[in-house]
Amino acid sequence: MRLREIVATNLRRLRQVRNLSQEELADRAGINRNYVGMLEREQHAATIDMLEKLALVLEADPIEFFRHDR
């Protein structure tokens, strides 16, 4: 599994666990909703700064984006 796929999967999981839509997450993070969708579809790679911002909104440790459970 590629790292971009792992990040996308974990972003989607963390967002859904907190019952947030892509639009709600984007609004709280101050980013475009389309960008969240692109991250989840692996069409864009997030910067470290963006992952930090998303982690704050999701109340998660940024390392959670890189967890790979086999």
Task: Give the 3-state secondary structure of 26-62.
Answer: HHHHCCCHHHHHHHHCCCCCCCHHHHHHHHHHHCCCH
55 token code pair: 């982690």
> pLDDT tens across 3-38, in order?
999 999 999 999 999 999 999 999 999 999 999 999
Class of domain 3-65: mainly alpha
For the entire predicted model, the pTM comes to 0.93
Q: Identify the pLDDT of residue 8.
A: 97
Domain extent listing, the chain: 3-65
Binning pLDDT at 50, 70 and 90, where does residue 69 land?
Answer: confident
Looking at residue 18, what DSSP letter applies? T
How far apart (Å, rounded) are the C-alpha atoms in residues 37 and 5? 13
Tokens describing residue 58: 């999701």
Residues 43, 49 contacting (CB under 8 angstroms): no
